[in-house]
A and B are shown apart, each in its own frame.
Chain A
C-alpha cells in the first residue's frame, strides 16, 4: 500500500485503514464507507462534539470518544458500533425527542428532517423518557425565515455557519442547561437584527424544522447545505 507521507494506519471495525495526518475518525470512517451517526457535525463547519451520537469505542481509551473531533492516531483500534453504543445513541435520540415539542406529522420539515430520519436509522420506535412538553415560542419576524424553538436541537450549526462562513455572527446561544436557546443578536426578534444579511445559510444547514424559509411547502421544503464544503475549499484556495 502506498500511503501518503505521514499517513496513519489504524483499525476500524476490524478492518485495516489509513488516515491523513490530523484527519478525524469520522472523516476517515466515511472515506472507508463506514457509517457513524452524526447530527451536530456538518461538512464544512468547525466541530463541537455536542450531540454525542458519533461516540465510538477506542481501544485503551478510558472513555468513549466523539469521532467528529478525535484525530486518528497511529495504531488506533476503533469500534463504531456495539450494543452499548447503539443503546446510548437511541437514548440520545429519545432525549432529543422528549426535550422539546417534535410533532413530525405537522412539522414543516416532515420527510426532510435529519433528526426524523436519524431516529429511523437508529431504530427508535418510541420514547421511554417522559416528554417534557415545554411552552416555547416561534419567531416569524424575519421577512423570509422563521425560527421555531419547538424543533431546535441546539446543534449550533446555525451559530457556526453564520459566524464561520457568513461572518455575521447573528446567532448565539443564551441561557444554561435545559433553558438554553439560540438567539439572534442580543436576544431580539430576528427581523430586527442589524447583523443578519438574510443570506439564508443558517436555514440551509439547520438539520430540523427549527429554521425554515417562509412560503416553501411540500417537496420544496428540503434543505441543501452542500454549498458549504465548496465555499470552504474555494476560500482556502484563494
Chain B
C-alpha cells in the first residue's frame, strides 16, 4: 500500500454543518483514518495550512476578502480540491443575502436592531467593522474563483455521500457523484 495521503478540511462561509456530517460517519471515519493524515482542519489544532496537501475538502462559499485569499492559497497548495456541500458549490444559505446585498443585510442585522452600533462618518455599515474582512456584495461558490476537482453536493451531504467521496479520493480516484448527488 502506498503512503498515507494528506487531508485538509477548511471552513469558509458555511455553518459548520458539513463538518458535522463528516463526523457523522462515526466509526467509518476511524476505519478510513488509517489511510490519511489530517494535516489541517477546524477539528485539529494546526494553524498553518501546509505547503502541499493531497486532498482538501472545503465547506462554505466565498463571502469576504479573507475567504478569497484563503481559497487562492489553498488551491495553490492542494492537489485535489473538493467543494463540500451546497454552500461551497452554489452559495446556498450563505448566499441568501445576495438578493439584497451586503450593506442592506448588515443594516438589517446590526443597524436596525435596538442596540446596534452608532452611525459612523461614511454612513456605511461596512465601515464600522473595519477590523473584520470586508464582505463582498455577493457570496459566490468556490468555482467562480478557482478550479474545483470534485463536487459533493448536499446541505449537508449525507455521511454516506461523504464516505463514498472520501473513500474514492483515498483510493486515488476523483469521485463522480453525478446521478447520485442531490442538492438540499
Contact = CB atoms under 8 A, between A and B. Distances in A.
Taking the complex as a whole, does A directly touch B, i.e. does some CB pair lie under 8 Å apart?
Answer: yes
Interface of A: 97, 101-107, 110-111, 116-117, 119-121, 123-128, 130-131, 133-136
Interface stretch (B67-75, B108-116, B124-132, B174-182): B174-182
B95 A131 contact: yes
A125 B93 contact: no
A63 B140 CA distance: 36
A125 B140 CA distance: 16
Interface string B27-45: 0000000000000000000
B96 A103 contact: yes
A97 B182 CA distance: 13
Which 6 A-B pairs rank lowest in CB-CB distance, beginning with the nearest?
A104-B184, A123-B178, A105-B155, A133-B98, A125-B151, A104-B183
B184 A126 contact: no
Chain B residues touching A, range? 20 to 34
B92 A103 contact: yes
Q: Which among A105, A111, A134 has the highest number of chain B CB atoms within 10 Å?
A: A105
A111 B178 contact: no
B93 A105 contact: yes
- The CB with the most chain B CB atoms within 10 A, among A116, A120, A136, is that of A120
Nearest to A98: B90
B100 interface: yes
Nearest to A97: B90
B99 interface: yes
A133 B144 contact: no
B15 to A, nearest CB: 10
A120 B178 CA distance: 7
B183 A119 contact: yes
A126 B96 contact: no
A82 B39 CA distance: 43
Nearest to A100: B99
A108 to B, nearest CB: 11
Contacts of B99: 101, 133-136
B66 to A, nearest CB: 21
Contacts of B95: 103, 131, 133
B100 A120 contact: no
Contact of B151 (A106, A126, A130, A133): A126
B98 A126 contact: no
B182 A126 contact: no
A131 B91 contact: yes
B86 interface: yes
